[in-house]
């Protein structure tokens, strides 16, 4: 979380007050932080509501945490400059970032939030978050495939870390990885002589898709 040095700094650089005017406003009780009048040059965080002369000059930021069932055919992007983007699903939200993407032909769980620190913890490899998938392949899965996939696969520019790979039926596997290389599972399968017919993410860390339907958004709270 970023911090302004002091409320006076905010007043000077946001409202274009002079140092003297900002100091006087604080001393006179003209400034409120989260509806509490302040009379000293206190430190403020990036979330608080700030009022000057009872007028809101910065709204309080409320963090929102969302689960989304991304349908096939959409890019994991909120930018309207990207074709087949997700903007229309989230046009009523501001400042969202996606915590871990899915390629256009994949479906399933996306997590989004305007809490940058939380998003960073979800996507930074050093935090080691599990991601779980159902993967349907184009032909019958062998024991050799399961073993080689689990041990890690050289996908050309990188050898993937060992992961969990279990057989669900003759053409479908359950995969749990802790990495997130571009199209990693598809590349792993291709290197082992298989093509992915369908890829669906069902879990990220402790957050699950549950019984959500395609295109559905569900808000949740952090534990």
Catalytic residues: 103
Contact 136, 185 (CB under 8 A): no
**59 contacts 67 by C-beta, under 8 angstroms:** no
Contact 3, 44 (CB under 8 A): yes
Is residue 151 within 8 A of residue 162, CB to CB? The reply is yes
Of 125, 187, 129, 131, which is closest to residue 159 (Cα–Cα)?
A: 187
SS3 of residue 144 by DSSP:
helix
Residue whose structure tokens are 């041990």? 151
Q: CB 113: neighbour CB atoms within 10 A?
A: 21
Cα(145)–Cα(122) distance, integer angstroms: 29
């Amino acid at each position: 979380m970023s911090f302004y040095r002091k409320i006076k700094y905010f007043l000077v650089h946001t409202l274009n007050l002079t140092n003297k005017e900002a100091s006087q406003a604080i001393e006179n009780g003209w400034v409120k932080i989260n509806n509490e009048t302040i009379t000293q040059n206190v430190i403020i965080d990036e979330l608080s509501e700030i009022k000057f002369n009872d007028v809101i000059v910065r709204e309080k930021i409320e963090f929102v945490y969302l689960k989304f069932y991304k349908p096939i055919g959409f890019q994991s992007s909120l930018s309207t400059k990207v074709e087949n983007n997700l903007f229309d699903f989230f046009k009523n939200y501001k400042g969202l970032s996606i915590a871990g993407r899915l390629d256009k032909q994949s479906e399933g769980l996306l997590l989004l939030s305007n809490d940058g620190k939380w998003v960073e913890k979800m996507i930074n490899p050093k935090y080691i978050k599990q991601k779980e998938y159902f993967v349907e392949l184009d032909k019958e899965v062998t024991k050799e495939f399961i073993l080689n996939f689990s041990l890690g696969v050289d996908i050309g520019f990188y050898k993937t870390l060992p992961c969990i790979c279990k057989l669900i039926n003759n053409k479908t596997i359950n995969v749990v990885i802790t990495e997130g290389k571009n199209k990693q599972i598809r590349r792993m399968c291709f290197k082992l002589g298989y093509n992915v017919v369908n890829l669906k993410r069902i879990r990220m860390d402790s957050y699950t898709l549950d019984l959500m339907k395609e295109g559905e958004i569900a808000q949740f709270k952090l534990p």
